[in-house]
């Protein structure tokens, strides 16, 4: 398996070298908005420790990520009046992965509303800021 590249975009966000619309952070994980959302409220949950994906992540980091995914999914239901949540995670290029630091997508869903294509248009930063605030408020009120 290819080695972890510390210059991937999510590693730069984790080091504070690149901005993000942060929603949540704890000792082992962080959550911020996806810059090319496939739905309103599309968020990403990452471990802080380096790993490429599910194939090399330490089990304790994976457990921490999934605990945060559950928190964010529950908050997303309230924040976006969602009827459901899709959770996605891609591994290596052949598995659909584009950024090689482990991350899980949390996508609030409404019946009859299709997902936009993966990695399509960039969102308006003001919209991402507003969605991050909504999700954060729902998490804080949990
Ligand atoms: P994946 O690796 O799961 O296939 O896709 C990477 C995801 O990261 C995509 O949904 C893409 O929109 C998102 N993404 C790519 N670059 C950035 C970035 O600089 N900031 C944020 N917040 N998301 C990004």
The pLDDT averaged over each successive group of 10 residues in the chain (142 residues) is 95 98 98 97 98 98 98 98 98 97 98 90 96 97 78
Ligand 1 pocket test, pick from 31, 65, 98, 123 with the greatest ligand atom count within 8 Å of Cβ, gives 98
Ligand 1 binding pocket, CB closer than 6 Å: 9, 20, 32-36, 90, 96-99, 103, 119
Domains of the chain (ranges; CATH) run 9-140 (3.30.428.10)
Q: What is the pLDDT of residue 118?
A: 85
Record the pTM: 0.98
Are 89 and 54 in contact, with CB atoms under 8 Å apart? yes
Burial 50-86 (b: 16+ CB within 10 A, else e): bbbbbeebeeebbebbeebbebbbebbbbbbebeebe
Q: What is the pLDDT of residue 110?
A: 98
Q: What is the pLDDT of residue 119?
A: 80
Rounded to an integer, what distance in angstroms lies between the CA atom of residue 37 and that of residue 81?
17
Ligand 1 pocket test, pick from 23, 37, 44 with the greatest ligand atom count within 8 Å of Cβ, gives 44
């Amino acid at each position: 398996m290819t080695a972890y590249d510390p210059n991937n975009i999510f590693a730069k966000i984790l080091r504070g070298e690149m901005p993000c619309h942060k929603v949540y952070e704890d000792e082992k994980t962080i959550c911020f908005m996806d810059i090319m959302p496939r739905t309103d409220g599309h968020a990403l949950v990452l471990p802080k420790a380096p790993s490429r994906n599910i194939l090399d992540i330490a089990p304790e980091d994976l457990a921490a990520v999934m605990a945060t995914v559950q928190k964010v999914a529950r908050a997303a239901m309230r924040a976006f009046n969602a009827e459901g949540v899709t959770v996605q995670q891609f591994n290596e290029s052949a598995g659909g992965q584009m950024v090689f630091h482990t991350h899980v997508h949390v996508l609030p869903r409404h019946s009859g509303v299709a997902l936009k294509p993966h990695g399509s248009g960039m969102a308006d930063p003001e919209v991402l800021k507003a969605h991050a605030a909504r999700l954060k408020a729902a998490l804080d009120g949990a």
